[in-house]
Chains A and B, each alone.
Chain A
Amino acid sequence: MSASETKDQVAALGEKYKYGFVTEIEMERAPKGLNHDIVRFISAKKNEPEWMLDWRMAAFRRWCEMTEPSWARVRYPKIDYQDAYYYAAPKKAEQYKSLDEIDPKLIETYNKLGIPLSEQKKLAGVAVDAVFDSVSVATTFKEKLNDAGVIFCPISEAIRDYPDLVRKYLGSVVPVTDNFFATLNSAVFSDGTFVYVPKGVRCPMELSTYFRINASQTGQFERTLIVADEGSYVSYLEGCTAPMRDENQLHAAVVELVALENAEIKYSTVQNWYPGDENGRGGIYNFVTKRGDCRGANSKISWTQVETGSAITWKYPSCILRGDNTVGEFYSIAITNHYQQADTGTKMIHLGKNTRSRIISKGISAGKAQNTYRGLVSVHPRANNARNYTQCDSLLIGAKCGAHTVPYIESRNPSARVEHEATTSKIAEDQLFYCLQRGLSPEEAVALIVNGFCKEVLQQLPMEFAVEAQKLVGISLEGSVG
Chain B
Amino acid sequence: MMLEVKDLHVTVGGKKILKGLTLSMKAGEVHAIMGPNGSGKSTLSYVLAGREGYEVAGGSVTYDGHNLLPMKPEERAAKGVFLAMQYPVEIPGVTTLTFLKTALNAQRRARGESELDAMNVLKFVRQRATALQINEEMLKRALNVGFSGGEKKRLEILQMSLFEPRLAILDETDSGLDIDALKLVAEGVNTLRSPQRGMLVITHYQRLLNYIVPDRVHVLAEGRIVREGGKELALELEEKGYSEVLKVPA
Contacts and interface: CB of A to CB of B under 8 A. Distances in A.
Given A438-B163, A441-B74, A444-B102, A452 B51 contact: no
Given A438-B163, A452-B92, 15 more contacts: A428-B89, A430-B89, A434-B88, A434-B89, A437-B77, A439-B74, A439-B103, A440-B74, A440-B102, A440-B103, A441-B106, A449-B91, A451-B93, A451-B94, A455-B94
Nearest to A436: B73
For the complex of A and B, the 9 pairs showing the least CB-CB separation, nearest first, are A452-B93, A452-B94, A438-B103, A439-B107, A455-B93, A439-B77, A436-B73, A439-B106, A434-B89
Contacts of B163: 438-439
A439 B83 contact: no
Nearest to A438: B103
A3 B52 contact: yes
B35 interface: no
B52 A448 contact: no
Contacts of B107: 438-439
B159 interface: yes
Contact of A448 (B72, B87, B99): B99
Interface in A406-459: 428-431, 433-442, 444, 448-449, 451-456
A434 B103 CA distance: 10
Contact of B52 (A431, A433, A444, A449): A433
23 contacts: A1-B73, A430-B87, A430-B89, A431-B90, A433-B49, A433-B51, A433-B52, A436-B72, A437-B49, A437-B76, A438-B159, A439-B110, A440-B102, A440-B106, A441-B74, A441-B106, A442-B74, A444-B102, A444-B106, A448-B98, A448-B99, A452-B142, A453-B93
A39 to B, nearest CB: 48
A436 B51 CA distance: 9
A413 B53 CA distance: 55
Interface string B216-249: 0000000000000000000000000000000000
A80 B179 CA distance: 73
Contact of B73 (A2, A437, A449, A453): A437
Interface of B: 49-53, 72-74, 76-78, 82-83, 85, 87-94, 98-99, 102-104, 106-107, 110, 142, 159, 163
B123 to A, nearest CB: 20
A284 B102 CA distance: 34
Contacts of B159: 438
Interface of A: 1-3, 6, 428-431, 433-442, 444, 448-449, 451-456
Contacts of A430: 87, 89
Contacts of B110: 439
Contacts of A440: 74, 102-103, 106
Contacts of A431: 89-91
A436 B73 CA distance: 6
Interface of A is mostly: helix
B73 A433 contact: yes
A295 B53 CA distance: 58
B94 A436 contact: no
Given A436-B77, A439-B78, A439-B103, A448 B91 contact: yes
A195 B142 CA distance: 40
A296 to B, nearest CB: 36
Given A429-B52, A436-B72, A439-B74, A448 B89 contact: no
A438 B77 contact: yes
B74 A436 contact: yes
Contacts of B76: 437
Nearest to B79: A439
A2 B55 CA distance: 9
A456 B73 CA distance: 31
A290 B88 CA distance: 43
A214 B104 CA distance: 41
A453 B91 CA distance: 9
Given A434-B89, A440-B103, A452-B94, A6 B77 contact: no
A413 B88 CA distance: 48
Contacts of B50: 1, 436-437
B170 to A, nearest CB: 13
Contacts of A455: 93-94
Contacts of B82: 437
A6 B82 CA distance: 21
Nearest to A433: B51
A433 B163 CA distance: 17
A433 B45 CA distance: 13
Contacts of B83: 437
A436 B77 CA distance: 8
A180 B232 CA distance: 82
B121 to A, nearest CB: 14
Contact of A454 (B52, B78, B93, B142): B93
Contacts of A442: 74
